[in-house]
Amino acid sequence: MLPAAVLFSILFFFRPALGAPACKSSQTDDESASSITSHQSGVGSKILSATSIIATSTEIASGTSTASATSPSATGNATSSVALGSTFLYELDATSVDSPIVSTNTGVSVDGQVYIVDAEGTSAETIAQYKANGKTVICYFSPGSWEPKRPDASSFDASCVCAAGDSFTDDGCTSDENKLDGWNEWWLDIHSDSCKTSVQSVMTTRIEKAAAKGCDGVDPDNVDSFSNADQQHGNTAQDQVDYLLWLSSTAKANNNMLIDLKNAGSLLVDDNGQTTEWQSEIVSAFDFSVIESCHEWDECDFYDSFLAAGKPEFLIEYGNTTSCPSMSDGQHLLVYSENDLDSGLITLVC
């Protein structure tokens, strides 16, 4: 739902029919794109063809402020911040990238003030290096899915991961039921009381480790299981909201770490374009939003409540578009040439 101060024109896309979207941060190797392509589509290509993209907004007092971080320490910084003017870099290949400025494979310079990196794959030393260069470091993890190759994979109960009657091995569940489309991951049960307790225990440890490592915040992925047809645990929208608010409170209890809402726009705005009963509480609990492919799906306005609250939107698109759409204050866009969140693949910064 658009706030009164912001008026967006419509983005038009020519695109083939799509299947049900699947939530994930980057793409499978066999997916390709010829323009801004969604990670959610699984297949196909999209061509950006908006003839007019006009965005106007009123001034927000903090709109020109930038992210700030204190000097690096052994733990995440309680005083780090992400503001409307904060720029960002998203890198999940678990390799150290240049700082303060990254040069991509195509020679694009990215001077992101907020670095989003893999929590497990990025060392404390690398995080300290980024922070020494003035970066606010946000650490990615997936509290919504079971990844069999993560070191703590055996900490989960199979009944909280796999479909009924299945068990898991080092490679995954014994069937593809309840599996994320296109990924070797399985949705977690956040519905049953026993699994909620079990899953939260594992995630508490992950968040505590991120704080001890020096992360200034966390980037929780796959937090929209309720809207995915592949999910078979009975997770509801209310389950998702409860889990998100728990994640936020747990992050805040650990050095007051920052936390973002990753996708999950339908928890903010319903199918009729109306504000949900949870919007205000969610926006209050999260410091910024990370949104994939919202231009393609014409869903960027779902997150306008973040901008209205003075909180930025970090937008990610996939494809080979060469021109920036008009955007509101607080929206920042990176375009990756492939469906892979490798910073070397960034072709456009908006």
- Average pLDDT along the chain, 350 residues, taken 10 residues at a time: 36 31 36 33 30 31 35 53 94 86 93 97 96 97 98 96 93 95 96 97 99 98 95 97 99 98 98 97 98 92 97 96 92 95 95
350 belongs to a structural domain:
no
2 belongs to a structural domain:
no
For the record, the structure tokens of 93 come out as 């290949």
Measure the CA–CA gap between 115 and 88, rounded to whole angstroms. Answer: 6
Domain span at residue 272 reads: 7-58+68-345
Measure the CA–CA gap between 335 and 89, rounded to whole angstroms. Answer: 11
Please state, in angstroms and as integers, the Cα–Cα distance from residue 30 to each residue in 22, 337, 341, following that order: 15, 14, 15
Domain count of the fold of the chain = 1
312 belongs to a structural domain:
yes
What does the pLDDT read at residue 74? 52
What does the pLDDT read at residue 68? 36
Helices (runs of H) and strands (runs of E) counted in the chain: 5, 19
Residue 164 DSSP symbol = T
What does the pLDDT read at residue 76? 63
234 belongs to a structural domain:
yes
1 belongs to a structural domain:
no
For CA atoms 255, 117, 137, 71, the dihedral sign is positive
CATH number of domain containing 320: 3.20.20.70
Classify each residue of 155-184 as buried b or exposed e, where b means 16 or more C-beta atoms within 10 Å of its C-beta: ebebbbbbbeebebeeebbeeeebbbbbbb
264 belongs to a structural domain:
yes
63 belongs to a structural domain:
no
100 belongs to a structural domain:
yes
What does the pLDDT read at residue 319? 92
